[in-house]
Amino acid sequence: MTRLALTLAAALLGTTALAEPTATGDLGLVIERATGSVLLVDQSDRAALARIGGLGDLSHASLVYSPDQRFAYVFGRDGGLTKVDIVTREIAGRVVQAGNAIGGAISDDGELVAVSNYEPGGVRVFDADTLELVADIPTGGKTIGLVDAPGRRFVFTVWDSGESWIADFSGPGMRTTRIPGMGKNPYDALITANGRTYITGLFGQDGLTALDLWAETPEPIRVLPGYGRGQQEMPVYKMPHLEGWAHTGAEFVLPAVGHHQVLWVDAATLTETGRTETYGQPVFAMARPDGRHVWVNFAHPLNDTIQVIDSVSKQVIHQFKPGPAVLHMEFTPRGHEVWISVRDAGKVMVYDTQTFEKLREIEADSPSGIFFTARAHRTGL
Amino acid sequence: MTRLALTLAAALLGTTALAEPTATGDLGLVIERATGSVLLVDQSDRAALARIGGLGDLSHASLVYSPDQRFAYVFGRDGGLTKVDIVTREIAGRVVQAGNAIGGAISDDGELVAVSNYEPGGVRVFDADTLELVADIPTGGKTIGLVDAPGRRFVFTVWDSGESWIADFSGPGMRTTRIPGMGKNPYDALITANGRTYITGLFGQDGLTALDLWAETPEPIRVLPGYGRGQQEMPVYKMPHLEGWAHTGAEFVLPAVGHHQVLWVDAATLTETGRTETYGQPVFAMARPDGRHVWVNFAHPLNDTIQVIDSVSKQVIHQFKPGPAVLHMEFTPRGHEVWISVRDAGKVMVYDTQTFEKLREIEADSPSGIFFTARAHRTGL
């Protein structure tokens, strides 16, 4: 009877999308950058379910999920903010909120979506339900490293002024706190999974800068001041993504800028504990959820390769070539498999993380970022 | 059109359950111990959606979720293993697999469900899809502290023999490893969120025992050997739940056995770093997901009260009385709210974790454990 009714509903809908009740815990979206579409995928079935188009320019796009894992908020490079319903598999809303945007975040209660803009700069905050503008926060510059923090807060940093801002929406109005002196030209930032430590990478000087968001008055903390591009280092092909910082438990793994290395940093003291030589300039260094292995991909022209590093020995234990232009990796939430975007092969590849065996290839159109719905339940993703 | 078809489907089903497409990311189940039922709840709406009955004896029950967050596997005290479909809101399968059971776990790939038994003892492993028996593992005693570990493994411990077992299902057959010498009468255990460290509490001697599951050959590691019930301590009203151990980042918080205290333990060295005096004998000491606060409830007769401890100062910063028989707490995945079972008030109460304001009361029949679907994506829950 249940199946009959659902089949009838599906027939009326002209789709098989609702032929079975939907649970959203093991779904995900893959950004198809060339076509402005996202591919809905199912982790358990290792399959693509549907393609949803009309999202605009998705080069360098990212997305966040609503707490119920029904809606994705996709941040396009063109300033488009698109709300995608992954249950009905259609666009539920779209605003073009700026000329050039660079990522976003969703508040811990799921009510506010914030977008970080290059042009005209600043941050805009929207009602997650209606996409109506809630707050416009001009910052006087390109705004990067936007993350959510516990307590309906967003943290972000201004490239031009080297200033970090905390926008707090926990009360009736918005309160902002500005922290100057983060360093010259911060280009990206991350927040640790517990929401305590915010770390910016610097383009204009060596080292990184951290903030302890648990402090009464957060002050810039210099991290690895002796590390950086250096004076005579090789050119930087691609700035590594800080969001990809791996946390293995006691240590972070940092993709080095302009070096063929990852750096190991003590999570408590933020001091360097080691370096591992790698195949190329690392882009993402991502810990398997248990922290035992770190998977690293590399910048062009060495972007056909992945290395896996053991976090105890700090040695490379496995290396392989999924194919041309490995852009992103996403682990299943408990880490038994990893999905890898191989852009120029037009495929997403699924690997067993224990045996390194390839389990499946899924067709995708210039795939880049892969985002599983489990991100809805994590801070800073 | 979509809504029309769905409304029609709902009419055919004789229910409003499917009047809207279902997303399962913000749902949960509350154990109603007196009536053998579970209450389906919605975190975002702070509401009960449905009651599902017929689950047998649910005193001391717990449950785990499938990776897609559609199915719950409920472990009853009477040995019943019930598979509940939270999308269709009905029982999808049930086996009575032993005479007396004490919890279970689901493998990292979601394919195997294991149940830990007092009577006849041992562990039984079932196909998560069909509930058919996959493996029967007699252990010669009451089996406690069953958890999942990465790589299709389960870890559990035998009360009678003081032996921990690792059952590894990553290959074609099952391989078991036995580790003797864990201590006298282990009564419960936990695994850390990264799946590396397994820790058993001991009833028959002071201290606890840990295993490093990353070691080639895990050996028992003595933890806090000078701590325990002691010789002349007050009676133990209720053994604390080890699964409730709070991990605040650098430290664990341990509910002391038979003392009005929680103990702080360095997560890296497993040595004691402090104690906080509490209102009663703690049962659960649970960290808010950001680790900044630890919420503690207490054993009878002081079980009407909750204390909140700041993890930096280790001081109690808030205390309140939700009502009679506070049995369990569950945080929303990013920690902005907490749900609390107040058994003898017949209510689940929802609080804002920043302001401590009560946001909602939800009627429930003798509520005990609260389990949100986000647990599907965590190890050891």
Q: Of A112-121, B220-229, B366-375, which range is least confident?
A: B220-229
Is B167 a domain residue? yes
Q: Is A341 helix (H, G, I), strand (E, B) or coil?
A: strand
pLDDT value of position B243 = 64
Q: What is the mean pLDDT of residues B373-380?
A: 94
Is A33 a domain residue? no
Predicted confidence (pLDDT) at residue A338 exceeds the cutoff of 60: yes
| Contact yes or no for B150 and A335 at CB 8 A | yes
Q: How far is A374 from chain B (nearest CA, A)?
A: 7
Count CB pairs under 8 A between chains A and B: 191
Q: How far is CA A129 from CA A82, A93, A95, B175, in A?
A: 12, 9, 13, 50
Predicted confidence (pLDDT) at residue A105 exceeds the cutoff of 90: yes
pLDDT value of position A118 = 87
The beta-carbon neighbor of B195 closest among A6, A12, A290 is A290
Is B125 a domain residue? yes
pLDDT value of position A310 = 96
Q: How far is B314 from chain A (nearest CA, A)?
A: 14
Is B372 a domain residue? no
Question: Left if phi > 0, otherwise alpha if psi is -120 to 50, otherwise beta: which for B77?
Answer: alpha
Which residue type is seen at A240? Answer: P
Q: Is A375 helix (H, G, I), strand (E, B) or coil?
A: helix
The label of the residue with tokens 């997560």 reads B267
Q: What is the DSSP string of B33-95?
A: TTTTEEEEEETTTTEEEEEE------TT-EEEE-TTS-EEEEE-TTSEEEEEETTTTEEEEEE
Q: Is the separation of the CB atoms in B160 and B143 below 8 Å? A: no
pLDDT in tens, B115-170: 999 888 999 999 999 999 999 999 999 999 999 999 999 999 999 999 999 999 99
Please, which pLDDT band fits residue A3 given cuts at 50, 70 and 90?
A: very low
Tell me whether A150 touches chain B (CB under 8 Å).
Answer: yes
Tell me whether B120 touches chain A (CB under 8 Å).
Answer: no
- Closest residue in B to A196 (Cα) is B290
Which residues from A are below 8 Å from B313, CB to CB? none
Q: What is the mean pLDDT of residues A40-49?
A: 97
Q: Supply the pTM of this predicted model.
A: 0.92
Average pLDDT in chain B: 89
Please, which pLDDT band fits residue B334 given cuts at 50, 70 and 90?
A: very high
| Contact yes or no for A377 and B196 at CB 8 A | no
Name residue B157's beta-bridge partners. Answer: B144, B164
Is B3 a domain residue? no
Which residues from B are below 8 Å from A88, CB to CB? 2, 21
Tell me whether A378 touches chain B (CB under 8 Å).
Answer: yes
Q: How many domains does chain B have?
A: 1
Please, which pLDDT band fits residue A99 given cuts at 50, 70 and 90?
A: confident
Cβ count within 10 A of residue B90: 14
Q: What is the mean pLDDT of residues B346-361?
A: 98
Is B108 a domain residue? yes
Q: Which residues contact B305 (CB under 8 A, 6 or more apart)?
A: B279, B280, B297, B298, B319, B320, B321, B322, B326
| Contact yes or no for A25 and B335 at CB 8 A | no
* Site from A290, A313, A372 to mutate, B interface, most B CB atoms within 10 angstroms: A290
Q: Is the separation of the CB atoms in B5 and B294 below 8 Å? A: no
Q: How far is A230 from chain B (nearest CA, A)?
A: 33
Tokens found for residue B211: 């295993």
How do the residues of chain B divide into helix, strand and coil, expressed in percent and rounded to 5? 5, 45, 45
Predicted confidence (pLDDT) at residue A279 exceeds the cutoff of 90: yes
Q: What is the mean pLDDT of residues B186-197?
A: 90
Please, which pLDDT band fits residue B11 given cuts at 50, 70 and 90?
A: very low
Q: Is the separation of the CB atoms in B138 and B157 below 8 Å? A: no
Which is nearest to A368 in space by CA: A290, A303, A295? Answer: A303
Q: How far is A232 from chain B (nearest CA, A)?
A: 38
Q: Which residue has better confidence, B381 or B25? A: B25
- Would you tell me which residues 302-321 of chain B have a C-beta closer than 8 angstroms to some C-beta of chain A? 312
Q: How far is B202 from chain A (nearest CA, A)?
A: 26
d(CA B361, CA B359): 7
Predicted confidence (pLDDT) at residue A7 exceeds the cutoff of 60: no
pLDDT in tens, A137-188: 999 999 999 999 999 999 999 999 999 999 999 999 999 999 999 999 998 8
CATH number at residue B102: 2.130.10.10
The label of the residue with tokens 């509350």 reads B30
| Contact yes or no for B196 and A291 at CB 8 A | yes
- Would you tell me which residues 40-99 of chain B have a C-beta closer than 8 angstroms to some C-beta of chain A? 43-44, 65-70, 86-88
Is B178 a domain residue? yes
pLDDT value of position B231 = 46
ipTM reported for the complex, 2 dp: 0.91
- Closest residue in A to B110 (Cα) is A44
pLDDT value of position B8 = 45
Predicted confidence (pLDDT) at residue B205 exceeds the cutoff of 60: yes
Is B116 a domain residue? yes
pLDDT in tens, B234-288: 445 556 666 666 677 778 888 887 789 999 998 888 899 999 999 999 999 999 9
The beta-carbon neighbor of A110 closest among B44, B110, B268 is B44
Which residues from B are below 8 Å from A336, CB to CB? 108-109, 150-152
pLDDT value of position A83 = 98
pLDDT value of position A256 = 84
Q: How far is A100 from chain B (nearest CA, A)?
A: 29
Tell me whether B5 touches chain A (CB under 8 Å).
Answer: yes
Predicted confidence (pLDDT) at residue B60 exceeds the cutoff of 60: yes
pLDDT in tens, B279-315: 999 999 999 999 999 999 999 999 999 999 999 999 9
Please, which pLDDT band fits residue A323 given cuts at 50, 70 and 90?
A: very high
Tokens found for residue B362: 């939800």
Q: How far is B82 from chain A (nearest CA, A)?
A: 19
Question: Left if phi > 0, otherwise alpha if psi is -120 to 50, otherwise beta: which for B219?
Answer: beta
Q: How far is B205 from chain A (nearest CA, A)?
A: 30
Which residue type is seen at B203? Answer: F
| Contact yes or no for A268 and B289 at CB 8 A | no
Print the domain residue range for B195.
Answer: 97-238
Most confident listed range (A11-20, A191-200, A331-340): A331-340
